Amino acid sequence: MDSPVARSGAPTRRRLLGTIAAGAGSMALARYSLRARAGASAALIEPICKPAWGAQPPKGEFVTHRIERLTVHHSAVILHRNRDAPGEFRSHQAYHQSRGWPDIAYHMLIDRRGNVYRGRPSSARGDTGTTYDPTGHYLVLCEGNFSEQPISKAQVRALVDVLAWASGRFDVPPRRIHGHRDFAATACPGTDLYRLIDSGVIERRVGDKLATGGVKKKELCGRAGRRRVAAIESGNA
Ligand SMILES: [Zn+2]
């Protein structure tokens, strides 16, 4: 089935539209690029490489997969000070590896100020403590608990950019963006963030990005990455 599993109640308008709008991902992307304006320039994401944010090397083997959808998560941990975000990511990774997973469960991580960090390799299937099969899901984590705190505008902007980059990179149409709770019994990605996904706001903004030049990626590795993390951890980025 193309549509995500709706656990209860009537399907939302967005899910119905998603089901009706069947077709290859490349066709859907072509529709967006037809709307592209001449002279539009690509936005840029600058994910911080894993050694720069203090990630440990993977433990054990990854299972490879082919990305077919983009799925948004929150950490369910209230983030009071953004300077603590890199430390939170290090502790998520340590916890996930302690569960026997090879790496942090997610592919891309975003803090409250919109800094982006690399997670496990895109080619590696994610992991989950819930009951869905993450094969084919590109997993994007927004640090915070969005049932307890609002998501910041900077974090939403970065999320849209990451999703638009992934949509272009993996040829996944924006209608295949969902929240974790669309697939499993969980509050993830929290009320405030899920509202933006379920109402189609994120899908529309990702579509607009693709129509105005898309999003490129340039990684911050080595000194540049360490400098960015030092700035984040001193409250200056
Ligand atoms: Zn989740």
pLDDT per residue, tens digit, the chain (237 aa), is 333 343 444 444 444 444 434 444 455 455 555 444 444 678 999 999 999 999 999 999 999 999 999 999 999 999 999 999 999 999 999 999 999 999 999 999 999 999 999 999 999 999 999 999 999 999 999 999 999 999 999 999 999 999 999 999 999 999 999 999 999 999 999 999 999 999 999 999 999 999 999 999 999 999 999 999 999 999 999
CA distances from 224 to 31, 49, 110, 219, 227 (A): 37, 10, 18, 9, 5
HSE (side-chain half, CA atoms, 13 Å) at 136: 11
How many Å lie between the centroid of ligand 1 and the Cα of residue 40? 34
Q: Is 42 exposed, middle or buried (0-12, 13-18, 19+ CB in 10 A)?
A: middle
Q: Beta-carbon neighbour count of residue 20 at 10 Å?
A: 10
Can you list the positions of beta strands (E) in 57-185?
A: 69-74, 108-110, 116-118, 137-142, 177-179
Å from CA of 189 to ligand 1 middle: 6
Residues 6 or more apart whose CB falls under 8 angstroms from that of 115 comprise: 48, 85, 158, 228, 232, 237
CA of 198 to the centre of ligand 1 (A): 15
pLDDT score at 26? 53
Q: What is the pLDDT of residue 90?
A: 98
Please state which of the four CATH numbers 3.40.50.300, 3.40.50.1000, 3.55.10.10, 3.40.80.10 is assigned to the domain occupying 42-233. 3.40.80.10
Residue 103, both tokens: 């790496």
pTM above 0.75, yes or no: yes
Tell me, in angstroms, the distance from the centre of ligand 1 to residue 75's CA: 7
Q: What is the DSSP letter of 11?
A: P
The predicted structure's pLDDT at residue 68: 98
pLDDT of the residue at 11: 44
**Interval between CA 188 and ligand 1 midpoint (Å):** 5
Domain spans of the chain, in order of start: 42-233
pLDDT at 41: 76
46 CA from centroid of ligand 1 (Å): 23
